[in-house]
Each structure stands twice: as structure tokens, then as C-alpha cells.
Amino acid sequence: MATIKDVAKKAGLSVSTVSRYLNDHPYISDEKKKRIKDAMDELNYSPSMVATQLRSKKGTMIGILVSRITNPFFSYLVDSIEKNSKLLGYNVLVMQTYDDPAAELKMLEMLKQQVITGLIMCSVEGNPDVIETYQQYGPIVFCNERIPGSTIPQVYTDQEQATFEATNYLIAKGYKKIAYCTGGSLTRGGHGNARTAGFEKALLVSKLPIKKDWIFKEVHTIVDGHRIAETLLSLPENNRPDAIFTGSDEVASGILQKFLQAGKKVPEDLAIMGFDNQPFTAMLAVQLTTIAQPVDALGREATKVLVAQIEETAYQIDTTDLKLELIKRESA
């Protein structure tokens, strides 16, 4: 007895396209409908009601992968993706990795098992070469992640240039001893490497030192910021940085809080630069200088790219709004 895979092969189309046809999805061309119908007639294929219902659930479900939903940036990004997905007739399934490649692999396996019809990866922890092999089971899009040379479509901003310019902003204001925080591990090809490259380039151009004691990796939360502040405050005053690029508003706010509690002044004793421009950053005791990310545009474009792949239509990414902006406030 013929299967949906046999129909797809005979019609020269993907299984997901045949599935959408069987569920009366509106975005299928007349030419493709005819190819599917002809293949079904030739193979004498008649889908069961149960199978159609199962495909219907899978055929409209998009997976979203984030490192941690408690990070406000990812919360707003997921919200944007979900809103745009619903406008296009899709539902979403969200999974957190907590920076664990094994958890990432579980979501990829859900794509393989056809639980989801496509996947938007807002964080990448595993080997991109391995991730690419899962494209045979359904479309994948990287969102806010840039992996040079990857065959996976990517929607991203120029974080290296933005970090370079933000670091130069600190340097231009007279700061010469600049610390650095990253959510990544500082391994080659790892998370956050674009920002790291921008930071290193700025210091190199200005011939400023990069001190090991002032580099903090795999930090994400307010509590991480507390720990970083305590480490910096424990250093001799003549060996403390005068500014810090945090790569995260949460980390920045944690550092700010601890420095103020210790009786220090910001930015006089330590200038602090965040990243993301979360709503709370303008309401802190010292308003946070940070970098605004175009969250709505990232979510919108990633969704449109993925849905275009699912529905086998063409879509050109609109980069108009995919720009980062330095927000100058009181902390730096």
C-alpha cells in the first residue's frame, strides 16, 4: 500500500508539501496540487482520517530553540516568532537548551521524527556540521546566530561591528582598562564569538591590553553579574578595570547593583556597558548604556524564511530593520 512518502517522491515534492495539500493548506500552487493529485491517482493512494489528523498537527508546528526563556531577550524573541507564526497559520513548540548540546539534539530529533515541521534555532550549542545533516528531515533557520559557511539560512545582525563600535565608544570616553563578559566559552566557532572578535579588534586597534583576570566567560544572569562584581572588587584598586563590556543587560545590572551596594560610583569607578536594551535598563538606579537589538525584526524575518521553506516558496530576507543601535545613558 502506498504511503505519503511514495506520493511525495512520485510528485517530486516534499512530504510536508503533500501533507499541507491533504490538509487543505492555502499556500500551495495549482501546479503542485495537480502533481500531487496525479501521483495519488497513479498510486491509488487514499489517506486514512487518523493519519491525516496526525499530519495536520505536525504540519503546522514550528519548533523554537532558545538557551533559556528566562532571559528577557529570548522571551521577546519567542513572542515575535509566535505572533508571526500564527499570522501565517502555524503554532510553535518552545524548548530550552540551557547551553547543553544534548538538549539541542533532542529538538533536532523531534524534527527527524516529524513532531515539528521546521525549526528556528535562536541559540546554537552543537556542531553546525551535525545540525546541517538534519535539514533532510525539514527546514532549519538560525536566528540571531551567524555561522560562516553553513548551508542553513541565517537571520542575524552584525554583532561584531556593533561590539567594535561600542568598545570604541568606551575608549573614546577615556577608558583604557576594559573588562569583558561573554555567554560563550571562548572556543573556536562557539557562541558569542562575533562579539568577542569585535571587542578584541577594538582593543588591538587602540593598542590596549587584554588581561586574563578581566575576562569572564559563560555568564548570563544577574547572579553571574554579582559574582563578577565581587571578583572585581576583590582585586587591588590599581589592578581593577575602569570599564566593562558585559554582553548582557542581566549581567550588567548584577554588576551595577553590587558596585552601588559597595559604595562605588558608576561610571566614575566602573563604566558598565550592557547588551539587548531590555525595558528595565532605563529604570535602574543608574540608567544602563547598552546596545538595542531589533528583536521584532529578527523574529519576523526568521519566521518568514522558515515558512517559505516549508511551503517551498521564495523569500528574500528584509535586512532593513536588522540593525543594532548603541543606546547612550548614564552608566558609560
Q: At what angle do helices 4-11 and 30-43 cross, to 10 degrees?
A: 120
Q: Tell me: the pLDDT tens digits for 42-97?
A: 988 876 544 554 445 556 889 999 998 988 899 999 999 999 999 998 999 999 99
CATH 3.40.50.2300 fits 159-292, yes or no: yes
Q: Tell me: the pLDDT tens digits for 141-156?
A: 999 988 888 999 999 9
What is the distance between the alpha carbons of residues 277 and 293, in angstroms, rounded to a whole number?
7
Residue 216 has a pLDDT of 96
With beta carbons less than 8 A apart as the criterion, state whether 275 and 196 touch: no
Query: What angle is formed at CA 273 by the lines to CA 70 and CA 321, rounded to 5 degrees?
Result: 70
Residue 50 has a pLDDT of 42
CATH 3.40.50.700 fits 61-157+294-320, yes or no: no
Residue intervals of the chain classified under CATH 3.40.50.2300 are 61-157+294-320, 159-292
Residue intervals of the chain classified under CATH 1.10.260.40 are 4-47
Domain 4-47 is of which CATH architecture? Orthogonal Bundle (1.10)
Partners of 120 in the β-ladder? 64, 141
With beta carbons less than 8 A apart as the criterion, state whether 182 and 216 touch: yes
Indicate left, alpha or beta for 33 from its phi (over 0: left) and psi (-120 to 50: alpha).
alpha
Q: Tell me: the pLDDT tens digits for 172-212?
A: 999 999 999 998 777 655 567 889 999 999 999 999 999 99
CB 50: neighbour CB atoms within 10 A? Answer: 8
What is the distance between the alpha carbons of residues 30 and 332, in angstroms, rounded to a whole number?
58
Listed range (190-204, 226-240, 264-278) with the worst mean pLDDT: 190-204
Q: Quick one: three-class SS letters along 72-141?
A: HHHHHHHHHHHHHHHHCCCEEEEEECCCCHHHHHHHHHHHHCCCCCEEEECCCCCCHHHHHHHHHHCCEE
- pTM of structure: 0.78
